Structure 1
Amino acid sequence: MHKIVVHPGSAHRDDFMAVSVLLANLEEAEVFRRDPTSEDLADPATYVVDVGMQYDPRLGNFDHHQDASLPCAFHLVMQHFGYHEDAQLVYGWYPLMSMMDVKGPHKTAEYFGVDASLLLASASPIDGYILSRFSRVESLGKDDLIYKFMKEMGRDLLTLIGEKKQRLTRLKKEAKVVQVNHLKAIVSYIDDNPKLAMELYLRYLGDPSIGICIAPSVRGKGWELMRLKDHKDVDFRDIAKDPKVRFVHANGYVAATHALLPVDQVIDLASRCIVEGHEHRAV
């Protein structure tokens, strides 16, 4: 059986995610939150993560603190299993996570041109709770609830990479870009998780004139119309009273129809919500 050794004390996203990916790739392992021994570092069946001052994938050692040029331990583990490049492509949060861990919130905020307090304020209480639970354990085995959670999370994370890549390929073949007034809209007929990889498709298209996405709704049997990048010329409140429309958000950024109307009808609805110089109305 493999062992995974990760640092004790406060847990962070880096070590938590690295261990989760390891558990997803190993049939079974024991997890220990302690400082590694020299035997641990020399044993290729023991993965030493985010501690130990060594980066040597041959021996399963994945620390980055001794070398400022290395990314976080999570990225090192993802590189080891061959997922790093694809994760860079499909997960917008992936590069940010390493920067936050390696350089800290202030340098990261400076890179993005924002105040560090914005990054700190966006911290999730869900993250905090899960990490605090991981911080309190000294070891984990396959029957522990948090072990099962981490293994499942790691598997889902890696599975989603493949699913997003496949969906991007399908969107390139099946989705359409149509002209709607002076803007463009993406129209996709895919009804299974319709928003999956849509952000990747937008990045692939690289067209700033695309302001709307039209796809089957996940809530009901109609279409969902969504304003992209909060485009200033789109406000779906202009169709709120149309009998074909089931829902319009109070901020006007999303609308849904009762049924899957013919595409020309839903495009007509979208065209009524696009006005050049349209300013979003206050709620």
Structure 2
Amino acid sequence: MYTVIVHPGSAHKDDFLSVAVLLSNLDVDAVYRREATPQDLADPMTYVVDVGMEYNEDLHNFDHHQDPLLPCAFHLVMKHFGQHERAMLMFEWYSHMSMMDVRGPYRTAQQLGIDSSVLFAASSPIDGYILSRFSTLQELRKGDLFYALIRDLGRDLLAMIDRKMTRLERLKAEAQVVPVKHLKAIVSTIADDPKLSMDRFLRFLNDEQVAMSITPSTRGEGWELLRLADHHSVDFRAVADNPEIRFVHANGFVAKTQTLLPLDQALALAMQAVVADAAVV
């Protein structure tokens, strides 16, 4: 049975997600939020994460602060379990999270070509609450509700990698890319979580003409027609008065049909939404 040591004080996504992955992969008796001792670092039954000033995979020490070339501790832990490359492919946030932890928000914003205020504005109150709760703990043991929450989050994260990779291969095999006037649309009939891995499929296609997707709706029995990347020539407000349309968002980025009408009719609606001078709000 293993023990996990992470740093005390303010908790961050780096140490929190590292603990989540460890709990989902190992039989961990307790997590302690304190400084690591030499005995901790020498004991391979103790995983020392984001503290200790040592990276030694054989001894299960996963700190990065002593070496500016190392990624965050979460990435080191994911590498340890053979999940790093898969996560890089499947999660857009994954590489950026390490940048934030290692370089800080200002250099990360510079690297991304955005103002740092955008990063702060995008912070989630849900993240803040969970991390603040984790910060108040000195130890976490089996049987604690928070232990179960963190472990289940880790399990879900790793399972999502598998789901996204499986779905991407299915999209490659089943989805159609069809012309819609001078543009293109992705058409997928997969009803279970229809937009899963759609972003990865778009990256795979690498086609700037793909401007919308047509998939089963998750809210209602019809199709969802979705504008991709806020393409300036697509505005579904142009079909809002069609009796087959159940809903159009006020800024025109999405429309939903009443039923799963024949695909040629859905494509006809999509063509009507391709307008030369769409005013994207």
| TM-score calculated relative to the size of structure 2 | 0.99
User: What secondary structure, in the 3-state scheme, does the structure 1 residue paired with 2:212 have?
Assistant: strand
Structure 2 contact 4–28 (Cα < 8 Å) conserved: no
Displacement after TM superposition at 1:279 (Å): 2.7
Displacement over 4 Å in runs of 4+: none
The AA in structure 2 aligned to 1:17 is L
CA distance in 2, matches of 1:190, 1:182: 25
Structure 2 unmatched ranges of 5 or more? none
The AA in structure 2 aligned to 1:102 is V
Counting aligned pairs with the same residue, the percent is 58
Structure 1 contact 23–29 (Cα < 8 Å) conserved: no
Counterpart for residue 74 of structure 1: 74
CA distance in 2, matches of 1:121, 1:219: 29
The AA in structure 1 aligned to 2:38 is S
Counterpart for residue 91 of structure 1: 91
Counterpart for residue 178 of structure 2: 178
CA distance in 2, matches of 1:12, 1:49: 12
Count of paired positions: 281
The AA in structure 2 aligned to 1:76 is L
RMSD: 0.7
Counterpart for residue 47 of structure 1: 47
CA distance in 1, matches of 2:279, 2:152: 45
Deviations 1:140-185 (A, max 9, x none): 0111111111100000000000110000000001000000011100
Counterpart for residue 279 of structure 2: 279
The AA in structure 2 aligned to 1:256 is K
CA distance in 2, matches of 1:170, 1:109: 35
Counterpart for residue 159 of structure 2: 159
Displacement after TM superposition at 1:29 (Å): 2.8
Displacement after TM superposition at 1:27 (Å): 2.6
CA distance in 2, matches of 1:27, 1:70: 27
CA distance in 1, matches of 2:59, 2:45: 8
CA distance in 2, matches of 1:16, 1:273: 44
CA distance in 2, matches of 1:218, 1:33: 41
Deviations 1:60-95 (A, max 9, x none): 100000000000000000000000000000000000
1:107-122 equivalences under 5 Å are 107-122=107-122
Displacement after TM superposition at 1:28 (Å): 3.2
Structure 1 unmatched ranges of 5 or more? none
Counterpart for residue 197 of structure 2: 197
Q: Confirm whether residue 24 of structure 1 aligns to residue 24 of structure 2.
A: yes
Counterpart for residue 135 of structure 1: 135
The AA in structure 2 aligned to 1:15 is D
CA distance in 2, matches of 1:29, 1:157: 21
Counterpart for residue 210 of structure 1: 210
Displacement after TM superposition at 1:276 (Å): 2.4
Counterpart for residue 243 of structure 2: 243
CA distance in 1, matches of 2:115, 2:220: 40
| TM-score calculated relative to the size of structure 1 | 0.98
Counterpart for residue 58 of structure 1: 58
Structure 1 contact 182–276 (Cα < 8 Å) conserved: no
Counterpart for residue 257 of structure 1: 257
Deviations 1:218-261 (A, max 9, x none): 00110000000000000001111111111101110001001001
User: What secondary structure, in the 3-state scheme, does the structure 2 residue paired with 1:59 have?
Assistant: coil
CA distance in 1, matches of 2:154, 2:81: 12
Deviations 1:27-53 (A, max 9, x none): 333100001111110000000000000
Counterpart for residue 12 of structure 2: 12
CA distance in 2, matches of 1:174, 1:50: 43
The AA in structure 2 aligned to 1:100 is M
CA distance in 1, matches of 2:254, 2:29: 45
The AA in structure 2 aligned to 1:217 is S
